[in-house]
Structure 1
């Protein structure tokens, strides 16, 4: 009889309190586990976004250097010109050597309420008249672009500000006060170009970034 009573007591199962405690523990573990997985997913997404932003900055600066390395002094044209708002340059085309020259422009302009760095590229130019038209179109694009000009622009990255300096006579100076390049005279190009950009906060690489380019004609190689 005593053995039967002990057997009944061991087979009664969990009490209601024990079940509630067990359910509460499992719920807490589930919440903690979900938060851990959510935190990992958010960290991975942030890392991926930062990596994409860094690649964007690297690509923009790479294109900047490539444009300067390809500067072309065509007779009776201007290879490089900065007016404080837009930098225009005449460069050779890398796609097809016999395709002609290109007019390229860089500027900062508001896009959807935020400042961005933009690049514009003309169609290949083969005559001085073609170059003159593209040169004027590049200036128009920087100030009051129409639909035709916007079709050839590329929005690169958010940018608060940018500045340019030319290296001439052993010192850096403002391009607008150091004399413009004489049309068609490659020797009149600056010995170097310094780019300073202020990247908008919130990006993977924020603050001021400086990029120096050395004129390959000086034997310094590419930037």
Structure 2
């Protein structure tokens, strides 16, 4: 007698279960990849922000190190919102000076940015006075003819303190005819950015006789 055997295969329910399981695995895999991508992007953004901050603070220190005291020329002035200073040429190969200003401005997108302005090379006192006045106008208005401005880092606020005679004093509305022995920079980084919180950096004048602590 011949026995009839049934053909092997999957039922419709088994196929639906298999498809659902595969869809669930695909969803879990996608979420894992998406999480890794987001984490990588955040790490990259934070790394870029740290590098930009380091470059900005390096420029800040370089400007202060190069600040000069000359007859009838103010070396540095802080009015509570704008810092202006007179600095020498970086490589000392030309008898030229520059006026530099640091200030907080709002960009076209509505974000507050810490910015730096630098005048063209100066060789006469008249040119210095013109550049000094332009630096003040740029600090208040954000736009001025001549010179070059550069946006550096997002910033909520900033303050300065001077170190003189062994003590730190708030530098609000201060005009110095000499370069302070030290300058304390306090930056308030905005919330929601790659870097946030309060950052304090102390600068000591290279020729100061005080311990660098």
The answer, yes or no, to whether TM exceeds 0.5 is yes
In structure 2, the residue matched to 1:109 is 105
Change in Cα spacing, 1:203 to 1:220, as seen in structure 2 (3 Å) is farther
Give the SS at the match of 1:180.
strand
1:127 maps to which of 124, 130, 138? 124
Contact (CA 8 Å) 1:50, 1:204: kept in 2 or not?
A: yes
In structure 2, the residue matched to 1:118 is 115
Give the SS at the match of 1:105.
strand
2:192 maps to which of 179, 182, 202? 202
In the alignment of these two chains, the number of paired residues is 212
TM-score (norm 1): 0.87
Unaligned runs of 5+ in 1: 183-187
Asked if residue 181 in structure 1 is aligned to residue 187 in structure 2, the reply is no
Asked if residue 138 in structure 1 is aligned to residue 135 in structure 2, the reply is yes
1:154 maps to which of 125, 150, 156? 150
Superposition RMSD in Å: 2.2
Shift of 1:163: 0.7
Unaligned runs of 5+ in 2: none
The aligned runs of 1:76-115 (5 Å cut-off) are 76-95=72-91, 97-98=93-94, 100-111=96-107, 112-115=109-112
TM-score (norm 2): 0.90
Contact (CA 8 Å) 1:164, 1:175: kept in 2 or not?
A: yes
Q: Which has the larger radius of gyration?
A: 1
